[in-house]
Amino acid sequence: MADLMKWFDTRRSPVEMIERLFEGDTVASGIRVEESVEGNTLVVRAELPGIDPDKDVSVTIVDGALEIKAERREKSEQKDKNSYRSEFRYGSFVRRLALPDGVQQEDITASYKDGVLEVRTPVPTAAQQPPARKIEITRG
C-alpha cells in the first residue's frame, strides 16, 4: 500500500501523476534532447538508452527539420519452478527539431554511444545583410 501511495502523492500535480503512469519508472514517453552550439557546430544529443541504433533508430531531414525516430522493444522473462512472469515494453517515439536555414544534408553526422545519439551539423554563417537604408518618398 505504501508503494501505491508514492504514485498518488498529493504534492504531485495531476499532470505529473498521469505522466508517471504513462512513462513508468524507466521508459520516457518521448525522446529527450539537448541542443547546443559548439563553435560553429550545432550538436543535438538524444537520450535513447537500451536501443539498438542499427535496427531501431532513424535519423532523417524532413522539411528543414531533423527527425529522430526510435522504437523500443524490450522483453524480460522470469521463470521459477512454480511461476512464470513476462513483461513487455515497447513503443515508437518521434522528435522533430528545426534546423537553421542553409544546413546541408550531406554535412550532418550521427553517432551513438552509451545510450546517447549525437547528431552534428555545421551552422551556416548568415549572409551579411546590407545596412538599413531609408527610401525617399516622392510626390507625384
**What nine digits make up the cell of 130?**
546590407
Average pLDDT of the segment spanning 60-74: 88
User: So what's the pLDDT on residue 36?
Assistant: 94
Short-list 1, 94, 12, CA closest to 20: 12
Beta-carbon count within 10 A of 134 CB: 5
Per-residue confidence (pLDDT) for residue 81, from 0 to 100: 81
Full-model pTM: 0.62
* Residue corresponding to grid cell 527610401: 135
In the predicted structure, residue 1 carries a pLDDT above the cut 50: no
CB 7, CB 24: distance < 8 Å: no
Residue showing cell 524532413: 62
User: Does residue 3 or residue 109 have the better pLDDT?
Assistant: 109
Task: Compute the distance between CA of residue 54 and CA of residue 112 in angstroms, rounded to an integer.
Answer: 10
At residue 73, the pLDDT reads 76
Under a CB-based contact definition with an 8 Å cutoff, are residues 65 and 98 in contact?
yes
What pLDDT score was predicted for residue 17? 52
pLDDT tens-digit series, residues 39-49: 999 999 999 98
pLDDT digits (tens, 9 = 90+) for 20-63: 544 443 344 478 999 999 999 999 999 998 888 999 999 999 88
Query: Looking at residue 128, what is its pLDDT?
Result: 58
pLDDT at 3 over 80: no
Please state which architecture CATH assigns to domain 31-122.
Sandwich (2.60)
The domains of the chain are located at 1-29, 31-122
Tell me what percent of the residues of the chain surpass a pLDDT of 90.
Answer: 36
Helices marked H in the chain: 2-7, 14-23, 53-56
Question: What is the rounded distance in angstroms from the CA atom of residue 103 to the CA atom of residue 109?
Answer: 12
CA distance 39 to 21: 40
